[in-house]
Structure 1
C-alpha cells in the first residue's frame, strides 16, 4: 500500500479529529475552572448557552429543572466543536503558543459578540472589570488546554517527522554543530 505524501483530505480529517479531542479536553478544563471559580465567588451557573440556543435553533428545556442539564449538554457540544477550529488553525502551519493565541482570540471574540447579540450577557463595555477578567481567564484555560492536547495529539505528524529528519541529517553532516544549533 502506497502512502500519499500530500493527502489533503487525510490531513484535514486528521486535523478535525485531533481538534475534536482537543476541544473535549479544553471543555473539561474550562468546566473545572468554572466549577472552582463558582465555589470561590459563590456565582450561580450561567444560563447564557440556553438563551443563545433558544434564540438560534429553537431548543428549549422542557422544564426549569432541565435547564441546567440542557445548558451543560450545549456547553460540552459547543466547546468540543470549537476544537475543530484549533485543528484548522494547525493547517495554516501555526503551532504551540501562536496557534493557542489565535484560537483564544477566535473563541473569546465570538463570545463577546454573540452573547450580547442574544441578550445572554451584557456588552463588554457594560461589564465589571472583575467579570471580564474571570471570563477571559476561563477562555484562556480552555484555549491552553485545547492547545496542549492538540499539540500532544499532533506530535509525530508527517511535517514534524520531516523536520526531525532534516535536523538529524544536518547533525550527521556536522553542520548544526558549527552553527551551535
Structure 2
C-alpha cells in the first residue's frame, strides 16, 4: 500500500510539473516570438523586404484555410507565426523543468525548431529546400531562429527557476 501511495504521489507530481511547464512554455514561446518578430521587423525596415507568406501557405495546406484578400493572408500568417512560436515554447520549458536548461537546452531547442522548418515546410511544398537558398537567406533565417531560441530559452529557464524557488518556500 505504501509503495502504491508513493507511486501515485510521484505521478501526480510529474503531471503537475508537466502542466506547469506547458503554461510556462507558452509564455516563453510568446516572448521568443516577440523577440524574433521585432528582429524581423527591423531587418525588413532596413532592407525593404516584405513579410513572408509562408505561414499562410502552411495554414492553407495543413488546415484548408483560404484568405479572402491580402489583409486576411497577412492576419492568418501572423496568427500562424505567433501560434507556432508559442507552441514551440512548450518543449523548451519541459526541457528546463526536467533539467535540460541553459545553453544545452537552447541549442537542442534551436535544432528542433530550425530543423523542423527546414524539413517540414519543403515537404509541404510551401518553401524551397534550404539547399536552394542563397547563403544570405540561410544566415538570416538562422539568425532569426537563434534569436527566438535564445529568448525562449532565457524566458523558460527563468520561469521554471522562479516557480521552483516559490515551491521551496
TM-score, normalized by length of structure 1? 0.81
Give ranges in structure 2 of 5+ residues lacking alignment: 1-8
Match of 2:26 in 1: 20
8 Å Cα contact 2:32/2:85 also seen in 1: yes
Q: Who wins on radius of gyration, i.e. which is larger?
A: 1
Measure the CA separation in 2 of the matches of 1:96 and 1:159. Answer: 17
The reply to whether residue 115 of structure 1 matches residue 121 of structure 2 is: yes
Give ranges in structure 1 of 5+ residues lacking alignment: 163-181
Residues 28-73 of structure 1: CA deviation (Å, up to 9, x unaligned): 0011011011112211100000111111110121222311111111
Deviating more after overlay: 113-122 vs 20-29: 113-122
Query: Aligned residues, how many?
Result: 159
The SS at the match of 1:65 is helix
The reply to whether residue 125 of structure 1 matches residue 124 of structure 2 is: no
8 Å Cα contact 2:56/2:76 also seen in 1: yes
What is the root-mean-square deviation of aligned Cα atoms in Å? 2.0
Q: CA deviation at 1:88?
A: 2.2
Match of 2:42 in 1: 36
Q: CA deviation at 1:127?
A: 0.5
Measure the CA separation in 2 of the matches of 1:119 and 1:63. Answer: 22
The reply to whether residue 56 of structure 1 matches residue 62 of structure 2 is: yes
8 Å Cα contact 2:96/2:157 also seen in 1: no
Return closer, same or farther for 1:55/1:5 CA change in 2, 3 Å cut-off. closer
- 88, 91, 109: which is aligned to 1:103? 109
- 157, 161, 168: which is aligned to 1:151? 157
The SS at the match of 1:120 is coil
Measure the CA separation in 2 of the matches of 1:22 and 1:57. Answer: 25
8 Å Cα contact 1:51/1:118 also seen in 2: no
Residues 95-133 of structure 1: CA deviation (Å, up to 9, x unaligned): 111101111000000000112112222111110000000
* More helix per residue: 2
